[in-house]
Amino acid sequence: MAAHDYLEDLSSLLPAVTLLDKLGYGYLTPSENLALRGGRTSKLILESVLKEQLRKFNSITFKGNQYAFSEGNIQKAVQALADIPFDSLMNTSEQIYDLLTLGKALEQTIDGYTKSFSLHYIDWKNPENNVYHVCDEFVLERRNSKQTRRPDIVLFVNGIPLAVIECKRPDLRDAAEEGVSQHLRNQRTDEIPELFTYAQMLLSVSQNKALYGTTGTPAKFWAIWKEDDKDAQEKILHDLVNEPAGDDFKARLFAERDERQRRTMETLWQSGERLPSPQDKALHSLLRPERLLELIYQYIVFDNKEKKICRYQQYFAVGATLARVGQRKGDSQRPGGVIWHTTGSGKSLTMVMLAKALVLSPDIHNPKIVLVTDRVDLDDQIYKTFHACGKPVVQAKTGEHLLDLITHNKASIITTIIDKFESASRKRKISDESSNIFVLVDESHRSQYGVSHAKMQNVFPNACYIGFTGTPLLKKEKTTAAKFGGFIHKYTMNQAVADGAVTPLLYEGRMSELHGDQAQIDKWFERITKDLTAEQKADLKKKFRREEELSKSEQRMAEIAHESREAARNNPNAQLQGSPSVDELLAADFVSDPLRRHDCAPISDGGVAVVLAAGDRARNWVDRPAWITGLDHRIDSHNFGARSLTSAPSAKLAAEKAGVGNDKIDVAELHAPFTHQHQLLVEALGLGDNVSINPSGGALAANPMMAAGLLRLGEVANRIMAGEVDRGVATATSGHLLQQNLVAVLEGA
């Protein structure tokens, strides 16, 4: 195995397969997967698995009795799906999607009657009735060639390949984007496009980034996924990724792998708790079985020969709307509201997906949906989408036609241009008082806030009105929106820019250079904050320190080194003492830009001894023992590139678990061998300006190898035992990137 493949497996592929196993996907070794394909690398479907599943959850209801589909029909259903000739990527993909979501009509004779009955390939309503498999190193022949490709991971539902994942090393430049490029290459006509006619969800993952799309998604439209409730996912996923892998799974995973990989993975699994990575979050969000089936069944549309899958804001907006309209008592009017998604974020597609979800909802009896828009080109898209739901959609050609559709209840889904609705209301008075009518209104002309809305209410007095807006609302419009039930879901411009969904309007701001006389900087700060209170000034200082212009600048790093040397003058055991000015430190040569010698801890010789005792025994030795009241150790991923290096998440979590924030901290001894790590730990622990930080000088003043972390604990303990402070915190770290962090809280009695 090539070195880059070896590292890719260890950093991304094997952790991904391990998590997918925990999510409910049974692992198939490459040889097992090939055997289920009859030993043929040109086949895609695990036919024996599919046949068994078709028998399991499909049956015929006829005259009150249940009958099984004949074996001949089971075989026909398999062939209908497996033997679809490849026409083009999108045409064949749409054909297969229709089969998967609508099922296959098959004739069967029962008691002398021959009728057509629907057979389904996937039980969309009951995810637990399906069977899920994951396979890595999926070998597949290229079209018209004996050469093969090997997608990293393929997920099967009932033996049908529905998801494909490319895994990349996180230390590669633009790793996730490289995986996207690989997906797009494999979809070319001379590659393995057949796989992507079945696949509905595509992911490109590395430990520090994950992107998703569907068949035919251009590279620029591959997106990240974010959960609305990030804290809930973090908790669930933290427990899941730290749950030990089963022995049977591990044996199968490494049965056809290098022994070195097994040993390395075992070492990583046993190295302690870790935090969920962006890769973990994407796999959990998009591929856990019930979510995967929901996204495929409800949130994929074909728009003018383009296959599209929802963005996360569309998914959560539809979910929030379904929850909102379900909040009613009896037959009362359903509450509506406004979905505010910024312009350019797919608002029109959200309307289509919501309409589809309303039609599919089992809790809404015979819904009627009226889509009011000014987009004529929406019609074809709506026809295609609702055909999959078994609901005909009718476009109102004229105002009179709209009246006819409403009066005679001729359609369950109607699209109309706003001016036709207005002309219909002028012709004659009609009214449909059903509370299962949903009027979805595009706000490009703000029709839901004016006269047009009043006319719609005359026609549909008990309807649920849902407005869509993509532009900021005026104060008056916000008040009107509240009358409709308020905002259902928001996706702001800032969120869209952060996600790359829209292009930001950029301007260049220039800050004056602050490198120079510290007294002048203090004068400048006092001048611009002269009207602020002391508390406001302190808060602003903290914010400045967190900003790149100060906290991560050479100036701030030099200040930290200066403070360390100053404090070390009172420490007889310190290796580096003195009081070089900030200017002198900044004038020094770089060791490696942006680090100068003062930014790095010295190589020190020394040792530390700490005596641990319990209860009364401790009081026999000292009058005021330092009690360890909180202790926690956390680990971040050791893979380079797996997380941002501008924060210390494991230190933050360890501080929370140890109880740092439970009471006032008087002193903190931070094991920070580099000046920038000092600032990262201060922020991770949430230490304020009133905390005395590294009064010993810290690791920048003396850093005895293998003892520096314990030294921090001893320094805090000494100050507590001397009666100088009541409560303190000490940290120890391992790894040049703060990968492992131990946090201890000590208190005096």
* DSSP structure string for 347-370: HHHHHHHHHHHHHH-TTSSS-EEE
**Does residue 445 carry a pLDDT above 60?**
no
> Tokens 């008075």 sit at which residue?
429
pLDDT tens per residue across span 587-644: 888 888 778 889 999 988 888 888 888 877 888 888 899 999 999 999 887 665 667 7
What stretches of 103-244 show up as alpha helix (H) in DSSP? 175-186, 193-198, 230-241
Going by the DSSP 8-state scheme, the letter that residue 10 receives in this structure is: I
Task: Give the pLDDT confidence score for residue 386 in this predicted structure.
Answer: 60
Phi then psi for residue 304, to 5 deg, are: 55, 55
**Does residue 28 carry a pLDDT above 90?**
yes
Q: How confident is the model at residue 407 (pLDDT cuts 50, 70, 90)?
A: confident
Report which of residues 321 and 390 the model is more confident about. Answer: 321
pLDDT tens per residue across span 123-173: 999 999 999 999 998 999 999 888 999 999 999 999 999 999 999 998 888
Task: Give the pLDDT confidence score for residue 444 in this predicted structure.
Answer: 45
> Tokens 């037959």 sit at which residue?
331
Q: CA–CA separation, 593 vs 591, rounded Å?
A: 7
* Domain range 615-748, its CATH number among 3.40.47.10, 3.40.50.720, 1.10.287.130, 3.40.50.300: 3.40.47.10
**Structure tokens, 343:** 């312009």
Average pLDDT, the chain: 85
**Cis previous bond, 504, omega within 30:** no
Number of H helices, E strands in the chain: 29, 28
Going by the DSSP 8-state scheme, the letter that residue 11 receives in this structure is: I
Task: Give the pLDDT confidence score for residue 643 in this predicted structure.
Answer: 73
> pTM score, two decimals?
0.71
Q: CA–CA separation, 584 vs 744, rounded Å?
A: 35
Least confident of 58-67, 177-186, 410-419, 559-568: 410-419
Q: CA–CA separation, 693 vs 716, rounded Å?
A: 10
Task: Give the pLDDT confidence score for residue 584 in this predicted structure.
Answer: 84
**Which of 270-274, 315-319, 737-741 tops mean pLDDT?**
315-319
Task: Give the pLDDT confidence score for residue 506 in this predicted structure.
Answer: 45
Q: Rounded to 5, what percent of the chain is helix, strand, coil?
A: 40, 20, 40
Say if residues 77 and 119 touch (Cβ distance below 8 Å): yes
User: CA dist 201 to 195, 211, 440, 513, Å?
Assistant: 11, 11, 28, 49
Q: CA–CA separation, 464 vs 438, rounded Å?
A: 5
Least confident of 27-41, 289-303, 619-633: 619-633
Residue 506, C-beta contacts closer than 8 angstroms, at least 6 positions apart: none
Task: Give the pLDDT confidence score for residue 518 in this predicted structure.
Answer: 58
**Does residue 243 carry a pLDDT above 70?**
yes
Tally of CA atoms within 13 A in the half-sphere of 324 that contains its CB: 22
**Does residue 566 carry a pLDDT above 90?**
no
Task: Give the pLDDT confidence score for residue 514 in this predicted structure.
Answer: 39
Angle (CA) 426-427-433 rounded to 5° is 80
> Hey, what CATH topology would domain 3-43+127-291 get?
tt1808, chain A (3.90.1570)
Q: How confident is the model at residue 474 (pLDDT cuts 50, 70, 90)?
A: low
Task: Give the pLDDT confidence score for residue 551 in this predicted structure.
Answer: 38
Residues of the chain with pLDDT > 90: what percent? 49
Report which of residues 340 and 123 the model is more confident about. Answer: 123
**Does residue 117 carry a pLDDT above 80?**
yes
User: CA dist 430 to 352, 586, 699, Å?
Assistant: 26, 80, 81
State the pairing for strand pair 132-136/140-141: unpaired
The β-bridge partners of 414 are 370, 394
Chain region(s) in the chain for CATH 3.90.1570: 3-43+127-291
Report which of residues 104 and 461 the model is more confident about. Answer: 104
**Structure tokens, 262:** 């097994």
Chain region(s) in the chain for CATH 3.40.50.300: 310-499
Chain region(s) in the chain for CATH 3.40.47.10: 615-748
**Mean pLDDT to the nearest integer, 110-120:** 93
**Does residue 379 carry a pLDDT above 80?**
no
pLDDT tens per residue across span 476-503: 555 556 666 788 998 887 788 778 776 5
Q: CA–CA separation, 625 vs 747, rounded Å?
A: 8
Task: Give the pLDDT confidence score for residue 558 in this predicted structure.
Answer: 87
**Structure tokens, 10:** 């260890």
> Hey, what CATH topology would domain 310-499 get?
Rossmann fold (3.40.50)
**Which of 153-167, 391-405, 410-424, 480-494 tops mean pLDDT?**
153-167
